[in-house]
Structure 1
Amino acid sequence: MRTILILGLSWAMNLAASDNDGPAMAELQAFSSGLETLHAGFNQRVIGPDGALQSEGAGSVWMQHPGLFRWSYEGEYPELIVADGERVWIYDEMLEQVTVKAQSSNIEDSPLLLLTQPQSLAEQFEVTELGAYEDMQLLSLVSHDPESEFERILLGFAQDQLRLMALEDAFGLRTEIRFDQVRRNPGLDPELFRFTPPEGSDVVGDTEPPALQ
């Protein structure tokens, strides 16, 4: 099963850090201002601790504030990940298996959602400007939570558009996702954020109905 968005690029560790109120933060603020929905294509690479490429993939992502998202991985190993506001559904088409977990407001459910709440970044992360790389301005986010799954999250922006999101876990597993054809606030079909397990698939995980509030 893929882990969404995991990479802290090794080259970023060598960039000179600047203040946290520079061009990258300005790009983030410009991109996230008024952001309610998002649709984009992406290309993903997963890199092991030894630097070897473990997998590559591509697909599309949809997001709707405050907590809905859909990741569709295409190609040889198709996979679908849907968050409906109560649960996250992960469907592995090859295995015909659905994994279910309760959805929380934790950024780890989908770091992409932090784009809708940049004002709260400092509460959850140590935020550092890393300067320019390629044609992007980079922002480094290191969680204040020592038990966080992610050691670092990187965001890359260019011309007020999200181009890169990357994370690295405690074991050195890195994933880089580069976005293209990014559309802000398109109209989205509510069915994108609903999921029904295909007939005959195995369903495992947190399958109990959500507790009443």
Structure 2
Amino acid sequence: MSKRIWVPLWGLGLMGCALQAQADGVDTLRAFVKDVQSGRGAFTQVVTSPDGKRVRKSSGSLEFQRPNKFRFTYQLPVEQVIVGDGQKVWLWDADLNQVTVKPMSQAMGSTPAALLAGGSLEKDFVLKNVAASSTSAAAATSPGSQQRDASIEWVEALPRTKDGQFQSVRVGFRGPNLAALEILDSFGQRSRLDFAQFESKVTLPAARFQFTPPQGADVLNQP
């Protein structure tokens, strides 16, 4: 059985200047959620164990369209696809040829995917800014990460519901553009996705957010 690399999907000086800088980060995330109705981009992902010693790397692409439609495609090292069609979330593991299906209402909620494709930002999350000098263990494993992070404005989103699968998610922006996501799950595992060639407000075919299980795949429906 292969190792799973996907993460539950289901984003300072004088005191006055510091306060202004802090306000800008949260406002950037709010504007992103309000104004960016669709987007796509490639990403690399680094997953770090709670002790910081074990690292897994993967790559893939993301597409989303509000409300509640998204597609994560992992290409390396294992092919996996996660699709939210607005009603259900589908997870296909190509190695096992297995599909897991969950209702959207259970799979989204206060999850990282809800930050990108959902529409209840203030209802589901408590937002706060992160100091520019803060670099996580996941970021530190990547060459040149500190230099890249210097240009990123971070916002932390804490789920209002405390019984979910993750503790926090950080969203990073370069200007108005999505640059990175960093997720700390309930087990202390940290996952960071760095985006490249991210495009916002793009027209995406409806078929990108539809999923039909491959022939012969085992389909597991979760209530």
Percent sequence identity is 30
CA contact (8 A) 1:5 1:167 kept: no
- 1:52-85 CA-partner distances (Å, limit 9, x unpaired): 2331111111101101110000023110111111
Cα RMSD, aligned residues only? 2.7
CA contact (8 A) 1:49 1:172 kept: yes
> For residues 56-135 of structure 1, what are the structure 2 equivalents within 5 Å?
56-104=57-105, 107-108=108-109, 111-115=112-116, 120-133=120-133, 134-135=150-151
Once the two structures are TM-superposed, the CA of residue 106 in structure 1 deviates from its matched residue by 6.2
Deviates more, 1:129-138 or 1:70-79: 129-138
Name the CA shift for 1:106/1:79 in 2 (closer, same or farther; >3 Å): closer
Once the two structures are TM-superposed, the CA of residue 48 in structure 1 deviates from its matched residue by 0.6
* TM-score using structure 2 length: 0.78
- Structure 2's unaligned 5+ residue stretches are 12-17, 134-149
Count of residue pairs the alignment pairs up: 197
Between structures 1 and 2, the one with greater helix share: 2
Name the CA shift for 1:168/1:3 in 2 (closer, same or farther; >3 Å): same
> For residues 179-194 of structure 1, what are the structure 2 equivalents within 5 Å?
179-194=195-210
Aligned to 1:11: none
Aligned to 2:187: 171
- 1:129-173 CA-partner distances (Å, limit 9, x unpaired): 113242111111112212122111111111111111111122111
The aligned amino acid for 1:74 is Q
Q: Runs (4+) of structure 1 moved beyond 6 Å? A: 17-20
Deviates more, 1:56-65 or 1:138-147: 138-147
How far apart, CA to CA, are the structure 2 residues paired with 1:80 and 1:116?
Answer: 16
* TM-score using structure 1 length: 0.81
The aligned amino acid for 1:192 is R
- Structure 1's unaligned 5+ residue stretches are 9-16, 209-213
How far apart, CA to CA, are the structure 2 residues paired with 1:52 and 1:121?
Answer: 33
Once the two structures are TM-superposed, the CA of residue 102 in structure 1 deviates from its matched residue by 1.1
- 1:21-64 CA-partner distances (Å, limit 9, x unpaired): 51212322443442111111111011111102331111111101
How far apart, CA to CA, are the structure 2 residues paired with 1:23 and 1:158?
Answer: 12
Tell me which of 3, 8, 24 is aligned to 2:7.
3
CA contact (8 A) 1:107 1:113 kept: yes
How far apart, CA to CA, are the structure 2 residues paired with 1:81 and 1:163?
Answer: 20
Query: Greater RCO between the two (CA within 8 Å, min separation 6)?
Result: 1
How far apart, CA to CA, are the structure 2 residues paired with 1:125 and 1:19?
Answer: 21
Corresponding residue SS for 1:198: coil
How far apart, CA to CA, are the structure 2 residues paired with 1:182 and 1:169?
Answer: 25
CA contact (8 A) 1:69 1:84 kept: yes
